[in-house]
A and B are shown apart, each in its own frame.
Chain A
Amino acid sequence: MGDRAIPKIAVWKFASCDGCQLSLLDCEDELLAVAEAVEIAYFPEVTRTVVEGPYDVSLIEGSVTTPHDAVRITEIRKNSKLLITIGACATAGGIQALRNFADVSEFVSAVYAHPDYIDTLAMSTPIANHVTVDFELRGCPINKHQLVDVLSAFVNGRKPNVSSSSVCMECKRNGAVCVMVAHGTPCLGPVTHAGCNALCPSYNRGCFGCYGPKETPNASSIARWWNTELHVPHAELARTFRGFNAYAKAFRNESGLHVDATD
Chain B
Amino acid sequence: MSTPRTETPGNGSTRRIAVDYLARVEGEGAMYIKILGDHIEHLELKIFEPPRFFEAFLRGRHMGEAVDITARICGICPVAYQMSSAHAMEMACGVRVNGPIRDLRRLIYCGEWIESHGLHTFMLHLPDFLGYPSAIDMAKDYPNEVNMALRLKKIGNSVVNLIGGREIHPINLRVGGFYRVPTKRELRSLVDDLQWARDAAVQSVRFFQALEFPEIELAYEVVALRHPEEYPFNEGRLISNKGLDIDIREFNDHFVEQHVERSNALHCVHRRRGAYHVGPLARYNLNHEQLLPTARETARDAGLGDGVWNPYRSLLVRGVEMVHACEEALRIIGEYEMPDAPALDVHPQAGVGHGCTEAPRGILYHRYRLDEQGVIREAQIVPPTSQNQRQIEDDLRVFVEHNLALSDEQLQWQCEQMIRNYDPCISCATHFLKLEIERE
Contact = CB atoms under 8 A, between A and B. Distances in A.
Interface of A: 13-23, 25-26, 28-29, 31-32, 35, 40, 44-50, 65-66, 69, 94-96, 98-99, 102, 104, 106-108, 110-114, 117-118, 120, 124, 140-141, 196, 199-200, 202-205, 208, 210, 236, 239, 243-244
B53 A96 contact: yes
Interface core residue of B78, B172, B258 (most chain A CB under 10 Å): B172
Contacts of A140: 72, 169
A69 B432 CA distance: 11
Nearest to B257: A113
B135 interface: yes
A113 B72 contact: no
Given A18-B76, A65-B52, A112-B266, A50 B20 contact: yes
Interface of B: 1-2, 20-28, 49-57, 59, 61-62, 65, 68-69, 72-76, 78, 119, 123, 127, 133-137, 139, 146-147, 150-151, 153-154, 157, 165-169, 171-172, 179-180, 258-261, 264, 266, 342, 416, 425, 427, 431
A28 B157 contact: yes
27 contacts: A14-B50, A16-B75, A18-B76, A22-B26, A32-B150, A44-B22, A44-B28, A45-B26, A46-B123, A47-B24, A49-B133, A49-B134, A49-B137, A50-B21, A94-B52, A98-B53, A99-B56, A102-B57, A110-B53, A113-B259, A114-B259, A117-B259, A120-B50, A141-B169, A199-B165, A205-B172, A244-B72
Contact of A111 (B20, B56, B123): B56
A95 B261 contact: no
Nearest to B158: A28
Contacts of A65: 50-52
Contacts of B261: 114, 117
B1 A32 contact: no
Contacts of B57: 95-96, 98-99, 102, 107
B24 A22 contact: no
Given A19-B169, A28-B154, A203-B165, A44 B50 contact: no
A32 B146 contact: yes
Contacts, number: 190
A49 B169 contact: no
Contacts of B54: 95
A118 B264 contact: yes
Nearest to B426: A18
Contacts of B139: 32, 35
A210 B166 CA distance: 12
Interface core residue of A13, A14, A124 (most chain B CB under 10 Å): A13
B76 A239 contact: no
A25 B76 CA distance: 11
A17 B73 contact: yes
Nearest to B2: A48
Contact of B1 (A35, A50, A203): A50
Contacts of A13: 27-28, 431
Given A47-B133, A140-B72, A110 B165 contact: no
Contacts of B259: 112-114, 117
Contact of B52 (A26, A28, A96, A210): A96
B90 to A, nearest CB: 19
Contacts of B123: 25, 46
Nearest to A246: B57
Contacts of B49: 15
Nearest to B143: A32
B21 A49 contact: no
A99 B53 contact: yes
